[in-house]
A and B are shown apart, each in its own frame.
Chain A
Amino acid sequence: MITFKNVYKRYPQGMDALADINFEIAQGTLTLLKGHSGAGKSTLLKLIAAVEKPTAGTVQVSGENVGALKRAAVPWLRRNIGMVFQDQKLLFDRSAFANVMLPLQIIGFPPREAERRVRAALDKVGLADRERAMPIAMSGGEQQRLAIARAVVSRPTLLLADEPTAHLDADNARDVARLFHEFQQVGVTVVIATHNEELYVPYAPDRISLAHGRLEVSA
């Protein structure tokens, strides 16, 4: 599903954020991405979604070299990816409901059915009664769950989550972990960058460890 071959990423005026990365992630697996702050986890997820392009090497998603995608082809890749961003990237000019609706609007989903799906997604993250709230009036944890609802609403085949439980209490964090597991159960490939490894222990995840932009060979 996802293949990294000799991938390097260097940001303009920076050192290597990622160096010589090689791995493969099989379809339908749950993979944890670990590493200290600044290790390159977010960078790695951005390469998968073609938010950033590798400086060298190839990143393949479903057999497609996403680093070489033309600008016009990128949206079609992203429509199959649900992404929870580390900084969430919610829109503060519209309600929680409208935020979750956005991915469905973008793919031109029939409005009536889209509304049903949005409610279902909000329900899954425990925000069913908050659909009219503005994100600015929501707690950090609620915002995080809202971002998760937006990532899963279009039922993507690949789910990328960047620290999705950073602002959550233990109960909510466990619920989110279970939600990701549920998606994995129906065949979705899930990649989660996290410092809260223990949440996922019950689901026997695969692990990729990064340190200073390099893969750590680990158990």
Chain B
Amino acid sequence: MNAWLTHQRAALAQALRRLAGTPTTTLLAAISIGIALSLPAGGHLLLTSLQQLGQGSSANPQISVFMTLDADAKASEKVGEQLKVNPAVGAAQFIGRETTQKRLREAGLAQVIDSLPRNPFPDTFVVTPADSSPEALEALRAELAKLPHVDQVQVDSAWAKRLSVLLNLGRTVVWLLAGLFGIGLIALVFNTIRLQVLTKREEIEVSRLLGATDTYIGRPFYYFGALQGLLGGLLACAIVFASFAILQARVAELAELYRMGFELHQLKLTDILALLGLSAALGWLGAALSVRQHLRDF
């Protein structure tokens, strides 16, 4: 146990010395890995942010039922009663035309509304269906459209569905990128270690003659690979963090403009830890593959 710890510490120190001994190479490798990893990491983060747009509407889609403008309070009340007894309707909320007008006036559109000859807004019901499967939604929509004095029925899940398809596409792209750049990272570390084994030939040969095991000889290289991956991961975190910090303000402006409750998520601690862990693990893997390949000659 003690010897084991001594070995780990010595190997880590050796790996650090090798990294520090070639600062340019170390930096260039970290930049390559960092930029490569920042793309899938940033993409993933963007997708998580976008997902919130679909949430709420895609989970429990709502149906808006607009009455005709000439429908009076009585007509709307009748429709409201029919909604109440319909088993396909989970809940129905009535938003009267006066309420809508008042809300918009408060929202700063008073002038526009006052300039209109009459209230242009219809009575509206917001219906939450009992069953939100696409077929049930469509059936309910058709049924509600036939009610008297109903002008229009809108299922607001259509765009959510489109968003979800787009998000799925995005996710596939992110996974592809992550896979490709992950392989790239492994290849980069593999080659770095190959070159190191060449320059450390004598040390490796002599160590073996003095009784070093393959594990002993490989260990500093494993640490080297893991550290190189880790450095790249750190840089990727920094790139994503900075980019999103810059973008956040712009996106906030945009969201404000469209009155959407949308906000760009920033990296969480768990994201950072996962990214660092993954990049270190890939670096270790690249080193292990390289060492296995190249220590055979000794």
Kindly list chain A residues whose C-beta atoms are within 8 Å of the C-beta of B212.
75, 106
Answer whether residue A187 sits at the interface, using C-beta atoms and an 8 A cutoff: no
In the assembled complex, the CB of B216 is this many whole angstroms from the nearest CB of chain A, namely 6
* In the bound complex, CA of A196 to CA of B205 (Å): 29
**Residues from 1 to 46 in B contacting A, C-beta threshold 8 Å:** 2-4, 6-7, 10
For A71, give the chain B residue with the smallest CB separation: B214
Give chain B residues whose Cβ lies under 8 Å from the Cβ of A77. Answer: 211
**B297 within 8 Å of A (CB atoms):** no
A105 with B10, Cβ < 8 A, contacts A89-B206, A110-B2 known: yes
Interface size class of B (residues with CB under 8 A): 10 to 19
Asked whether any CB of chain A lies closer than 8 Å to the CB of B260, the reply is: no
Q: Tell me which residues across on chain B come within 8 A of A76, comparing CB atoms.
A: 211
What 0/1 readout, one digit per residue, does chain A (144-158) give for beta carbons within 8 Å of chain B? 000000100000000
How many Å lie between the Cα of A102 and that of B216 in the bound state?
12
A109 at the interface (CB under 8 A from B): yes
Q: State whether the Cβ of A78 lies closer than 8 Å to any Cβ in chain B.
A: yes
Report the bound CA distance from A107 to B3 in whole Å: 7
A110 CA to B4 CA, complexed, in Å: 10
List, in ascending order, chain B residues with CB within 8 A of A51's CB: 209
A108 located at the interface, meaning its Cβ lies under 8 Å from any Cβ of chain B in the complex: yes
Known: A75-B212, A78-B211, A108-B4. A91 touches B10 (CB 8 A): no
Which chain B residue has the least Cβ–Cβ distance from A46? B209
Q: Which residues of chain B from 138 to 168 have any CB-CB distance to chain A below 8 Å in the complex?
A: none
**Residues of the A chain whose Cβ atoms lie less than 8 Å from the Cβ of B6:** 108-111
Contact status A85-B209, CB under 8 Å? yes
Q: A93-B203, A105-B10, A106-B216 are in contact. Are A75 and B4 (CB under 8 A)?
A: no
Determine if A117 is an interface residue (Cβ-Cβ < 8 Å).
no
Residues of A with C-beta under 8 A to B4: 108
B6 to chain A, nearest CB (A): 5
Q: Within 8 Å CB of B2, what residues of A?
A: 108, 110
How far is it, in angstroms, between the C-alpha of A78 and the C-alpha of B213 when the chains are bound? 10
Cβ–Cβ contact A91 & B206, under 8 A: yes
Tell me if A119 is interfacial: C-beta within 8 Å of chain B: no
Given A91-B202, A93-B203, verify A103-B3 contact (CB < 8 Å).
Answer: no
In the bound complex, residues from chain B placing their C-beta under 8 Å from that of A83 are: 209
Instruction: Kindly state whether residue A72 has any CB partner on chain B within 8 Å.
Output: yes
A71 to B212, CA, bound (A): 11
A79 at interface by CB-CB < 8 Å = yes
Those of A99-124 within 8 Å (CB) of chain B: 102-103, 105-111
Minimum CB distance partner of B213 in chain A: A75
CB-CB under 8 A for A89 and B209, given A108-B3, A108-B6: yes
- Say whether B208 faces chain A, with CB atoms less than 8 Å apart: yes
For residue B196, CB closer than 8 A to chain A, the reply is no
- Smallest CB-CB separation from B205: which chain A residue? A89
Q: Given contacts A108-B4, A110-B2, A111-B6, are A102 and B213 in contact (CB under 8 A)? A: no
Q: How far is the CB of A142 from chain B (nearest CB, A)?
A: 18
**B210 part of interface (Cβ distance < 8 Å):** yes
B226 CB, min distance to chain A CBs, angstroms: 20
Contact of B213 among A72, A81, A150 (CB under 8 A): A72
Which residue of chain B has its CB nearest to the CB of A99? B206
A72 CA to B214 CA, complexed, in Å: 8
Give the one of B205, B209, B214 with max A CB within 10 A: B209
Complex contact A91–B203 (CB within 8 A): yes
Other-chain contact of A102, B7, B205, B206 (Cβ < 8 Å): B206
List 19 A–B pairs whose Cβ atoms lie within 8 Å, in order of A's numbering: A71-B214, A72-B213, A75-B208, A75-B213, A78-B209, A78-B210, A79-B211, A89-B205, A89-B209, A91-B203, A92-B202, A93-B203, A102-B206, A102-B210, A106-B216, A107-B211, A108-B6, A108-B7, A111-B6
The chain A residues found within 8 Å of chain B, CB to CB, are 49, 51, 71-72, 75-79, 81, 83, 85, 89-93, 102-103, 105-111, 150
6 tightest A-B contacts by CB?
Answer: A108-B3, A78-B211, A79-B211, A75-B211, A75-B213, A106-B212
